[in-house]
Structure 1
Amino acid sequence: MSEKQASQEVLDKKAQALLEEKESDARMRTYKGPLNKLIVGLLCVWAAFQLYFTTLGAISAINLRAIHCIFLLVFTFLLFPTYKKEKRLRSLPPVWDMLLIAVGVGSFTYLILNFPRIAMTGGRIDDFEVVIAGAALLVVFEAARRASGNLAVLALLFLGYNWFGEYLPGYLGHNGFTLKRVLITQFWGTQGVLGTGIGVSATYIFLFVLFGAYLKYSGFSKFINDFSLTLVGQTPGGPAKVAVLASALMGMINGSAVANVATTGTITIPLMKQTGYKKEFAGAVEAVASTGGQFCPPIMGAVGFVMAEFLGISYTKVMLAAIVPALLYYVGLLMAVHFEAMRLGLSGLSKENIPNAMKVVKEQGHLVIPLVMLIGLMFAGYTPLYAAVFSIFGTIAASWLRKETRMTPQKILDATVEGAKGAVSVGVCCVIIGVIIGTVTLTSMGLNMGYLILYLVENNNIYLTGFLVMIMSTILGMGVPGVAAYVIVQAVAVPVLIDAGVLPLTSHLFCLIYACLSNITPPVAISAYVASGIAGSDQTKTGLWAMRLGIIGFIIPFFFLDNPVLLIGVDPDATMYATLWAVFTALLGTAGLVAGLEGWLIKRCNILERVILIALAPTLLYPGVLTDAIGIAVFAAVAGVQLVRKK
């Protein structure tokens, strides 16, 4: 074996190990015998509890969150191993995990029984209740270490800030807090582990993860893949375009870029490699397409519903505002795929490998009914939670319209178990996020960071403020699922932009996009690294390719910071004509930027044409009469020259 082959084999093993580390099912324990049946039964009980008490049942918010947390801790210590090399197949969990489950269940049960009394006394607790809070916090950190190591470390740093912050100078310092005060906030209050993060997990996240699992078992993902093939499969670079469309549609439903890469990527990445794309490029396309689904309407991976709750507005307004950024992101990615295919001289799939469009619609088209039902119910005024529950049952009903797609009782059970399991890792992330948010609230860290950034930025320069917030959002979102990343970022970064004069909805969208893009931002580009594991490619190169392909996502938020005409319905003074014109010129700007980066427009670009195309992109992306006129004229000139050269 040559040295090059040996190094590639080592790389493939590392990539596969990373894939297994990041894909939840591969990391989980499996049990044999009665315990396996017991766990399956408990997962179904949990799903039934969530479906009932988030819609018809009456329960206080704190009790719902505490019980949800109990389920999360039980399943984390049953399913997630203590260390990576631990034996996965077991008959019984280790003794220490049973002890951790006992401590976790006991602590939160004590909270449920005593919270009303403590709330009535204004948060007064005795020494025993301090111990209870401390034990619960230790158990939560151990659960987070297993489910998401990076986030547990970040939360530990934030928790330490409660004490060492008093030694920091300037805006980052505070007066310091006692252990008792910190534990009251983190466990006995509604700003810590039982705060916003777990509230999001106990409602939106669980239901939409479960909904995604039901769609998968109904055959919806196969329908999306087949339908995408009929649309773009025969065009140059068809498999890559299929990956973009399929991953966008699935990503906006399941809300997890990593999970989407690990599922759809196993189909699309090999197809792209067979077509002739480099393996780094193939992995990057899948990672970028899966990441964008988290801010792509109409579902936005459940993030949109959370944003609507934070802003106190209807979800429809959030969804409309996100349409144009998502459109530009995916148009830019499709153009990059197409130009790369033209540059490499790649063709699409042969006709015999493309399913018949009418046959696909006839045999599988009914599977889109639950998605239409979900959107229709929300527009009719139902809450997203009711819409999600009805759509889950609608998925079962729709699958029964044809024998080939019918969900049997076993499939329904498998979907329930997989959905509940999928909600565990994200849910634990949301619990530990409560520590971060509790620290931010107690220490006024978000406000202080805002003051610090505004102090560093002279004359309240909105773009420099945005740049610093972009860095903050990307760092805070690294290694964290989309919804969880947004919950962290909105607590710390959004107030900074609002203080600088940015509209609230614009601020939230700005931070959401960068929190999601942290999935493809080195050095912790998790989506790109998981995709490289499937592609067998170099992780660093795949991450850099992902940043290049998703470049429009990193740029476009700066163009709606102080001119939100690109966000439908946000600017009250913008007419529909002004918005449509801004979208048209932004699409031209996107085409120019991607063409310049890829070196292809109508034909291969020379160096001068590439520089000009990249330079004109900002003039078209920024809404303005003069900039639009300059950009359109230059773009037309470059296109005209290329047409003449082609003839």
Structure 2
Amino acid sequence: MSTQNMSQQEMDQLIAQYDKESAVRNYIGPMKWITFCLLVLFTVYQLVSTIFYALPPQIHRPIHLAFGLGLIFLLYPLSTKRNNHKIGIFGILLAVIAFVLPLYWVYDYEGLVVRTGNFTTLDLVIGGIAIVLVLEAARRVVGLPIAIIASLFLLYTYFGPYMPGFLEHRGNDVDRIIGHSFFTLEGILGTPLGVSSTFIFLFILFGAFLEKTGVGQYFNDLALVVAGRRIGGPAKVAVFSSALQGTISGSSVANVVTSGSFTIPMMKRLGYRSEFAGAVEAASSTGGQIMPPIMGAAAFLMSEFLNKPYFEIAKAAALPAILYFTGVWIMTHLEAKRLGLRGLKKEELPDKKEVLKRIYLLLPIFVIIFTLMSGVSPEMSAIIGIASTVVVGAFRKETRMSISDILEAFASGARTALGVVAATACAGIIVGTVTLTGIGLKLANGLIDMAGGILFLTLFFTMIASLILGMGTPTTANYIITSTIAAPALIQMGVPDLAAHMFTFYFGIVADITPPVALAAFAAAGLAKSKPMQTGVQSTKLAIAAFMAPYIFVVSPQLLLIDTTFMESLWVMITSVLGMIGVGAGIIGFWMSKLNPLERILAAAGGILAVIPGLTTDIAGLALLAAVFAYSIYKGRKEKQVTASA
């Protein structure tokens, strides 16, 4: 059965429209092969440096940055309105300079280490140009907002004495700013780029290999078999497949277009409204970034910032992720019940036996989970996962990878990683500014003062900041900024560090579906031919769990499996899932029968109480839900009797 409802070219155009990282030049002729070879070489370097010889960070990170910047200036035009098939002499020269400048670290490594804080004129000229190139690369790949934010932080570093109130500081001269930003491991070459050059790149490469073996299509087929014939089947297929697609894509927009190109038309044919169909896909695809075992790139940064094993981060995210997708699943089910929608017919589904024969394609994901649980480093887990993908793909002719397939996966992984390189390098400028000026602590204290020391208000202001930043920056950069500035405020107020960082991480992600700028929802609207803003509003409703969970796990860290037993965790999961049923019923306005406004409020209130960990809230919430549920059953039976007698 064909699941493609739009051409690959149309999909690429839609992704590029809403995902700036995908708006690359499509070369023809020699430049196509030159960039392909450079992308492959980038991946080869990353693998060799990980497996065979670990270089010092002052050498490894600049080489990673050199490949990233050079390829960005080759692949991303000055403006998306320009001819994307050609590059001029100036563009090639800029790409060469961008590649060569970071290698100055490799050329004069010992000299730079010796004269730290006493840099030569040549050092400062090279460092200054490198900073400008990083800002421009970020503008081209990630967007103008992050480049503006980083530039403002640099200006703040210089104009400190002229800042008002608590923002005032002694200021720094240009030499110190350049030296700190480019010639230390606290600026551009800091922890964010370090994580990009290790964990993130390799897991992106793992996703590229999964995609090459056809796992992306298999996720769709498996979702159809599991959920296709259920009530409102296509919507549940979207939820299930998008959760799995998050394993191989760190982009909400790319997830939307990949899965939505076939789920959205199916939902519309079944009877879902265009806005609701687009919202289901947008909410589900965005949730892929919070779905363990492989989450968004920011999760790897969180592991490094908190000095915790990545598996601890993934484990903590498990229950909130289950709640998220449970909430979306429940609401699609209730909407289908309200509209009287059926599932798909048997002939509309792929052959069940054939799909189950290919279940082995999921083995690499289980390999990743097992290695992470066994204490293997994330880098080696990713490499083992990549190797297992090649081995598993060899089982059948249609999934077997040739040498050319492997090289294409190398190039695809490197190309996808460019956005992370640009975002982390630019965010490193912001982190460097924070360490140089102490603005992180100043803003954290300012945030607490503005909230009057009230935790809820501090959380609310942090959420708003994360959502606003998410309008113009990718999740990775958003998390770096908010975790540097806002998370310390929450930690000062007694919130566990993991809960504080997870709070900012969550809201950085849901910014993709939160109006007025909801790129994932707008991409889904493009597929559904629906109104973008209404699709965004519907997406926000469906993703209500992502807005609830962060507040709850800050107050009750048991939701993140912090300091809790297995039985306590099991009880939290059961009551939380039951609570999401109530919340979903309240939002959709249907349970066993149509709910009136009071019933909707009571169902939502009972659901929220059940989700909040704690014996008192659980009992109150479950009692309220039971009452609403029983009355809804009673009303439903009465309506059937009236219909039957008529």
Q: Tell me which interval the TM-score lies in, with the shorter structure as reference length.
A: over 0.9
Contact 1:143 1:428 in 2 (8 A): yes
Match of 1:480 in 2: 473
CA distance in structure 1 between the partners assigned to 2:457 and 2:178 by the alignment: 37
CA distance in structure 2 between the partners assigned to 1:120 and 1:76 by the alignment: 31
Code of the aligned partner of 1:606: N
Match of 2:288 in 1: 293
1:28 aligned counterpart, secondary structure: coil
Shift of 1:165: 4.1
Contact 1:589 1:617 in 2 (8 A): yes
Instruction: Say yes or no: does 1:563 pair with 2:563.
Output: no
1:79 to 71, 75, 81: 75
Match of 1:8 in 2: none
CA distance in structure 2 between the partners assigned to 1:25 and 1:502 by the alignment: 35
Contact 2:200 2:300 in 1 (8 A): no
Shift of 1:261: 1.7
Match of 1:546 in 2: 539
Change in CA separation of 1:605 and 1:446 when aligned onto 2, cut-off 3 Å: same
Instruction: Say yes or no: does 1:212 pair with 2:207.
Output: yes
Moved more, 56-65 or 31-40: 31-40
Contact 1:103 1:135 in 2 (8 A): no
Match of 2:429 in 1: 435
Instruction: Say yes or no: does 1:140 pair with 2:134.
Output: yes
Match of 1:55 in 2: 51
Contact 2:368 2:381 in 1 (8 A): yes
1:403 to 397, 400, 403: 397
Shift of 1:302: 4.4
Contact 2:21 2:419 in 1 (8 A): no
Contact 2:591 2:629 in 1 (8 A): yes
Shift of 1:618: 2.8
CA distance in structure 1 between the partners assigned to 2:553 and 2:385 by the alignment: 34
1:154 to 149, 153, 159: 149
CA distance in structure 1 between the partners assigned to 2:170 and 2:449 by the alignment: 21
Instruction: Say yes or no: does 1:585 pair with 2:575.
Output: yes
Shift of 1:15: 12
1:490 to 483, 507, 511: 483
Change in CA separation of 1:561 and 1:241 when aligned onto 2, cut-off 3 Å: same
CA distance in structure 2 between the partners assigned to 1:164 and 1:273 by the alignment: 55
Match of 1:108 in 2: 102
Contact 1:15 1:529 in 2 (8 A): no
Instruction: Say yes or no: does 1:424 pair with 2:402.
Output: no
Contact 1:249 1:293 in 2 (8 A): yes
Contact 2:66 2:100 in 1 (8 A): no
CA distance in structure 2 between the partners assigned to 1:375 and 1:576 by the alignment: 19
Match of 1:627 in 2: 617
Contact 1:197 1:484 in 2 (8 A): no
Match of 1:466 in 2: 459
Change in CA separation of 1:104 and 1:25 when aligned onto 2, cut-off 3 Å: closer
Contact 2:252 2:520 in 1 (8 A): yes
Listed one character per residue, the Cα deviations across residues 534-557 of structure 1 (whole Å, up to 9, x for unaligned) are 222222111111111111111111
Structure 2, unaligned runs of 5 or more: 1-9, 638-646
2:327 to 305, 310, 332: 332
CA distance in structure 2 between the partners assigned to 1:547 and 1:173 by the alignment: 38
TM-score, normalization by structure 2 = 0.93
Contact 1:19 1:534 in 2 (8 A): no
Code of the aligned partner of 2:18: K
Shift of 1:388: 0.6
Structure 1, unaligned runs of 5 or more: 1-13
Change in CA separation of 1:184 and 1:26 when aligned onto 2, cut-off 3 Å: closer
1:69 to 65, 70, 75: 65
Shift of 1:26: 5.5
Match of 1:535 in 2: 528
Match of 1:98 in 2: 92
Contact 1:479 1:526 in 2 (8 A): no
Listed one character per residue, the Cα deviations across residues 85-123 of structure 1 (whole Å, up to 9, x for unaligned) are 211222xx2122123223323321223222432322332
Contact 1:228 1:245 in 2 (8 A): yes
Contact 1:171 1:451 in 2 (8 A): no
Shift of 1:395: 0.9
Change in CA separation of 1:531 and 1:617 when aligned onto 2, cut-off 3 Å: same
Change in CA separation of 1:594 and 1:77 when aligned onto 2, cut-off 3 Å: same
Contact 1:370 1:391 in 2 (8 A): yes
What does 1:30-45 align with in structure 2 at a 5 Å threshold?
A: 30-45=26-41
4+ residue runs of structure 1 moved beyond 6 angstroms? 14-18
Match of 1:4 in 2: none
Moved more, 622-631 or 551-560: 622-631
2:296 aligned counterpart, secondary structure: helix
TM-score, normalization by structure 1 = 0.93
Code of the aligned partner of 1:294: Q
Match of 1:611 in 2: 601
Listed one character per residue, the Cα deviations across residues 563-609 of structure 1 (whole Å, up to 9, x for unaligned) are 212221x12xx333322222222222211111111001112111221
Match of 2:634 in 1: 644
CA distance in structure 2 between the partners assigned to 1:510 and 1:520 by the alignment: 17
Listed one character per residue, the Cα deviations across residues 311-357 of structure 1 (whole Å, up to 9, x for unaligned) are 22222322221111111111000011111111122111111112233
Contact 2:451 2:457 in 1 (8 A): yes
Shift of 1:234: 0.7
Instruction: Say yes or no: does 1:449 pair with 2:453.
Output: no
Shift of 1:24: 5.8
Contact 2:447 2:486 in 1 (8 A): no
Instruction: Say yes or no: does 1:345 pair with 2:340.
Output: yes
What does 1:261-280 align with in structure 2 at a 5 Å threshold?
A: 261-280=256-275
Contact 2:195 2:300 in 1 (8 A): no
Match of 1:383 in 2: 377
Instruction: State how many pairs are aligned.
Output: 627
1:367 to 361, 365, 371: 361
2:161 to 145, 157, 166: 166
Listed one character per residue, the Cα deviations across residues 187-228 of structure 1 (whole Å, up to 9, x for unaligned) are 111111111221122112211111111111101111111111
Code of the aligned partner of 1:473: S
Contact 2:599 2:628 in 1 (8 A): yes
Contact 1:589 1:618 in 2 (8 A): yes
Change in CA separation of 1:271 and 1:160 when aligned onto 2, cut-off 3 Å: farther
CA distance in structure 2 between the partners assigned to 1:185 and 1:600 by the alignment: 58
Contact 1:294 1:303 in 2 (8 A): no
Contact 1:490 1:511 in 2 (8 A): yes
Contact 2:233 2:343 in 1 (8 A): yes
Contact 1:592 1:614 in 2 (8 A): yes
Contact 1:118 1:124 in 2 (8 A): no
Shift of 1:19: 4.1
CA distance in structure 1 between the partners assigned to 2:471 and 2:21 by the alignment: 21
Shift of 1:43: 1.2
What does 1:172-191 align with in structure 2 at a 5 Å threshold?
A: 172-191=167-186
Code of the aligned partner of 2:77: P
CA distance in structure 2 between the partners assigned to 1:298 and 1:15 by the alignment: 27
CA distance in structure 2 between the partners assigned to 1:312 and 1:197 by the alignment: 13
Moved more, 411-420 or 385-394: 411-420
Q: RMSD of the alignment, in Å?
A: 2.0
Listed one character per residue, the Cα deviations across residues 231-250 of structure 1 (whole Å, up to 9, x for unaligned) are 11011211111111111111
